[in-house]
Structure formats: C-alpha cells, structure tokens
Amino acid sequence: MATTDDHTRLGHAAALATPTERRRMVVIVNPYATTVSDRLKNLVVAALQGRYEVQAIDTAAKDHATELARAAAGAGVDVVVAFGGDGTLNEVANGLAGTDTPLTTLPGGSANVFCKMLGIPGDIVDATEHLLRIADDFTPRRVDLATVNGRRFAFSAGMGLDAAVVERVDAHPKLKARYGPKYFTAAAVSTFSRRYVVNPPRLEIEVDGRPMRSGVSVFVQNGAPYTYFGDIPIHVADESRLDSGLLAGATMCRARLTDMPSIAYRAFSARGRITRAKAVEGFHDAQVVVARSADGSPMPLQVDGDYIGTFAEARFEVTPGGLTVVS
C-alpha cells in the first residue's frame, strides 16, 4: 500500500521533471488493484505529465483493459501503460498483441511479475521515475507472446494444481488484497489437502508431439521466473526467456506430502532446480505444449496469475515477437 512518504516522493518527481517533447501516453488503471487509489493515480499522472501527454482511464469491467488498449493502438498513441496487477497487464497485452504500440507497466498488484521481468522497479515511486527517465531513451523492442486456447499470456500459464489455487484466491479478492502472499500460501495448502492428496485429477502432457510423464499440474513459461512470492522469485524453468521464441516449463508428476518440501525448497532457492526433483519433469525449447484431462473432466486454467475457467484440453503456443514493449 502506498504511504504518505510515497505521495511526497511522487510530488518531488513531478516537480523535477523537465519539459521535453512529450509522447502521447495512455495509462490504463485498474482502480481495484491491490495498491491503487485515486490519490495515488492522480499523483502518478501528475508526475508523468512532465514528460508525456497523459490520458488515464479506469477499467470498469473484466476485459475492459483489452478494449481500451486496442483503441489506444488504433488512435496511434506512443505508449500504453498497464497500471494494476498482472491481470491488468495480461488484458492490455491482449489488446496490443501484433501492433507496434509499445506496452509498459506500473506496479499496482500483489506480485507485478511482468513489471519486474522488464526491469521496472516494484516500488511505485521508483517505477514512475523509471518511466520518466526512459522518455529520453525511448527504445521499444519486441518480445514473445504466448497463447493458450486462444488467450494470450505474457509470462506464464498453468493447468491443474496451481490453477486451482489461483481459482480459489481470485474468488476472494479482498483476502488476496489484504494478506497477499500469506493468503496464497493458505489457499495452496487448503487446495492441496482437499483435492490433491487422494485420487487427484491427472493430466496427460505432450511437448511438440512427444509424450511426457502424466501429472497433476503443468507449468508453462514464456519468460523467467515463473512468478514471485512477494519479492522472492519462484523458479520453475530458468531456460525460458522473453525473446527466445520458445516455451519452457515443467510437469508436477505426483502430489505426495513427502514430495512437497523438496519441491518448495527448489522453487524458492536461487541454486536449486525444481526440474531435478523426482516428482517433476521439465521441458524447454518447446513450440507446442498440449495438456489433456486424463478422464475428460474440465480442469482449471490460469494465465499470468489469473483464473480463466476450466478446460478438458489446453494447447500452449508462442508467437515470437508478438508484443512490443518499452522499459
């Protein structure tokens, strides 16, 4: 949550911004994101006005950010900012996919994974100052954009256990906003205990047509890390890069209580590799990953940390250079 000191620092940033030729910027704001408030939004916009011609628009419903981003690109603006969490970022990326309009981001959610992957600070004041600085070195670049069942994602997607956890967390947005990573942990323990200890639903996995070991969850990455727990990166497939043109990830092959400590340690460790755990099989340099429910029952699916529904089959692909970013 933004503090009084943050508001003061943003005021200083606005005062220090020197006039220059201003690019047209649309800031798409999720007013319900974890750390976003009207006062914070107004201070951020005031600071950015020193270097950009800024229009800030609040989202009003699910997928509204996609519509706003698509309209901004059609109007020829110079840059679109996703100000919210990774769900907002995902919607904006879907709206800008395949265009030359660059995307950048300001942290307003609980994890802000893509923001950190682009090298933008996780602190809102530092991130605002970062966007002011790049006005003098405005260098858009292309990164890859992945898809699953027609829905694009910027950095990661999953089916099975991790998506079931995301489904539970997204169903309680107030608890998610209040407790952040602690609530994710509680939801993970509860979901695992209720649905994955005895006779868990299983997935059959193929990578570029090659069968993998079946499992209870598949993690697919378009960049590394897979996600963050607060400021701690969670590693699954370190081979993944935003500009590789390929996917990487892993299958969690079983869900035994005795496997969880090793998997958790490797996920949080900078040196440990989760794909070396006995219960995990990794993959990399993939173009197509297909996950199917073993019994045909629909299973939960998440993209960029947002639950999007249940599916009996998920097909993950990647479009090299499908998104323009600036950071």
Q: What is the pLDDT of residue 17?
A: 55
Say which residue, 203 or 16, is predicted with more confidence: 203
Please answer whether residues 135 and 104 qualify as being in contact, where contact means their C-beta atoms are separated by less than 8 angstroms: no
**What pLDDT, in 10s, does the model give residues 247-273?**
999 999 887 777 777 777 677 776 667
**What pLDDT, in 10s, does the model give residues 108-122?**
988 899 999 999 999
Local confidence band at 66 (pLDDT 50, 70, 90 cut-offs): very high
Q: What is the pLDDT of residue 138?
A: 95
The helix (run of H) or strand (run of E) holding residue 181 is helix 181-191
Do 182 and 243 share a domain, yes or no?
yes
What average pLDDT does the segment 128-150 reach? 96
Q: Specify if 33 maps to a domain.
A: yes
**What pLDDT, in 10s, does the model give residues 163-195?**
999 999 888 888 888 888 888 888 888 888 888
Burial of 133 (0-12, 13-18, 19+ CB in 10 A): exposed
Omega before residue 225 within 30° of 0, cis: yes
Can you read off the two tokens belonging to residue 195?
A: 């649905």
Q: Specify if 163 maps to a domain.
A: yes
Q: What percent of the chain has pLDDT over 70?
A: 92
End-to-end CA distance of the chain, in Å? 23
Longest dimension (CA), the chain: 63
**What pLDDT, in 10s, does the model give residues 75-120?**
999 999 999 999 999 999 999 999 999 999 999 988 899 999 999 9
**What pLDDT, in 10s, does the model give residues 217-247?**
999 999 988 888 878 888 888 778 999 999 9
Do 109 and 189 share a domain, yes or no?
no
Do 201 and 294 share a domain, yes or no?
yes
What is the number of domains present in the chain?
2
Say which residue, 278 or 215, is predicted with more confidence: 215
What is the CATH classification number for the domain harbouring 36? 3.40.50.10330
- The rounded distance, in Å, linking the Cα atoms of 293 and 299 is 7
Do 15 and 133 share a domain, yes or no?
yes
Please answer whether residues 273 and 237 qualify as being in contact, where contact means their C-beta atoms are separated by less than 8 angstroms: no
Do 156 and 101 share a domain, yes or no?
no
